[in-house]
Amino acid sequence: ELKVEQNPLFLSMQEGKNYTIYCNYSTTSDRLYWYRQDPGKSLESLFVLLSNGAVKQEGRLMASLDTKARLSTLHITAAVHDLSATYFCAGRNAGNNRKLIWGLGTSLGVNP
Amino acid sequence: KAGVTQTPRYLIKTRGQQVTLSCSPISGHRSVSWYQQTPGQGLQFLFEYFSETQRNKGNFPGRFSGRQFSNSRSEMNVSTLELGDSALYLCASSLGPDWETQYFGPGTRLLVL
């Protein structure tokens, strides 16, 4: 079964600097998701990456997928306070039971 | 367009009781998935329904069950509650089973005493 690991689990960022969150997965996953969760709130979809080499960008966030390395990255450009949240990646299990397997999340805080 | 709604938002139960949670998907969405979120285990998939049929199931005991109605609304039931069932239960809807994007509801926070 698919396993998904995120790192780091905690990230204290300084405003204006760039950072990367890594999401490694263990076996074939035909798609990779990134979600954001604010404290006490539900999950907000950020990106869905479907194929090798896929890159998507929205504002200061850019996600990419390397299926050969089984790695997705979420890159943050010039961090701002509004980006403080927990970010989750999830892969879809291959085979008959196509459930989403989630990473533990990366808790981001942005300091002025 | 209204988002995914879940009721109730908060619930307190005691061990041994049972509970039913409800989820109304976005209009036109026919797939509903349920997740349990806890600080220790993170997000775990419970089950997914499409057209009133359970398509996929997570690794939870039989005390956890669900169903979907013809209007795509879904319920999940937990019988014989245990302390460890305390969690945020999230429902997500998508257009179909081979979804690209799932939209999550606000969740039901269950506390078992």
Query: Using one digit for the tens of pLDDT, what is the confidence trace for A22-38?
Result: 999 998 887 899 999 99
CA–CA dist A67, A27 (Å, integer):
10
Question: Strand runs (DSSP E) across B8-95, as ranges?
Answer: 10-13, 19-24, 31-38, 42-50, 53-57, 64-68, 74-78, 87-94
Q: Averaged in consecutive runs of 10 residues, what is the pLDDT profile of chain B (113 residues)?
A: 91 97 96 94 93 91 96 97 97 84 94 97
Residue from the list A41, A48, A103 with its beta carbon closest to the beta carbon of B101: A48
Distance CA A2, CA A54 (A): 20
Interface of B with A in 72-101 (CB under 8 A): 90, 92, 100-101
What's the CA angle centered on B110, arms B105 and B113, to 5 degrees? Answer: 175
The answer, for B56 touching chain A at a CB cutoff of 8 Å, is yes
pLDDT at A21 over 90: yes
Give the 3-state secondary structure of A56-75: EEECCEEEEEECCCCEEEEE
- Which member of B56, B102, B104 has the closest CB to residue A98? B56
Tell whether the model's pLDDT for residue A94 goes beyond 90: no
Q: Does B3 touch chain A (CB under 8 A)?
A: no
CB B56 within 8 A of CB B47: yes
Mean pLDDT in residue range A16-21: 95
Q: How far is A103 from chain B (nearest CA, A)?
A: 8
DSSP 3-state of B84: helix
Nearest-by-Cβ selection for B45 from A43, A88, A99: A99
> Can you give the pLDDT at residue B1?
67
What pLDDT score does B27 carry? 95
Indicate yes or no: CB of A105 within 8 angstroms of CB of B42: yes
Residue B37 main-chain phi, psi, to 5 deg: -120, 120
Give residue-wise pLDDT tens across range A36-64. Answer: 999 888 899 999 998 888 899 999 999 99
Nearest-angstrom CA–CA distance, A60 and A65: 17
